[in-house]
Amino acid sequence: MDDITPDYKIDITNDVCPMTFVRTRLKLETMTQGQVLEVTLGAGEPLKNVPRSVTEMGDTIIDLVELANTPNTYRLTIQKT
C-alpha cells in the first residue's frame, strides 16, 4: 500500500531464520500501538515464517508485495496492535 508511510523500516534480507523474526519482533516491541513497520525480506523461509509469526504474536499484516526491481525480495508492512 503506497499511501501508508511506515514509522520504521528494517532490512532483514541478509539475515537467516530465526534471526529474521527475532529482529522483526525486537523492533515491534519498541513501537507503540498503531505504528507501522516496513520489513524488507527475502524469499524462502523468511517469507514463509515472518508473516506467520507476526500474526501469531497478534500484530496485523497490512501488505506483502514482491519488489518489482529486486526479484525474490519482498516488502512486508506490519501494524503494531
Pick the catalytic residue from 6, 13, 17, 62.
17
Number of domains in the chain: 1
Q: Residue 40, SS3?
A: strand
Domain membership flag for residue 36: yes
Query: Is 1 domain-assigned?
Result: no
Cell output for 69: 526491481
Residue-wise pLDDT tens digits, 40-61: 999 999 999 999 999 999 999 9
Peptide bond into 46 cis (omega under 30): no
pLDDT in tens, 10-38: 999 999 989 999 999 999 999 999 999 99
Q: What CATH number is given to the structural domain containing 72?
A: 3.30.110.40
Is 17 one of the catalytic residues? yes
Within a domain: residue 2? no
For residues 81 and 64, give the distance between their C-alpha atoms in angstroms, rounded to a whole number: 17
48 assigned to some structural domain: yes
Q: Which domain holds residue 35?
A: 8-79
Say whether pTM exceeds 0.85. yes
Q: Is 80 helix (H, G, I), strand (E, B) or coil?
A: coil
Q: Is residue 66 part of a domain?
A: yes
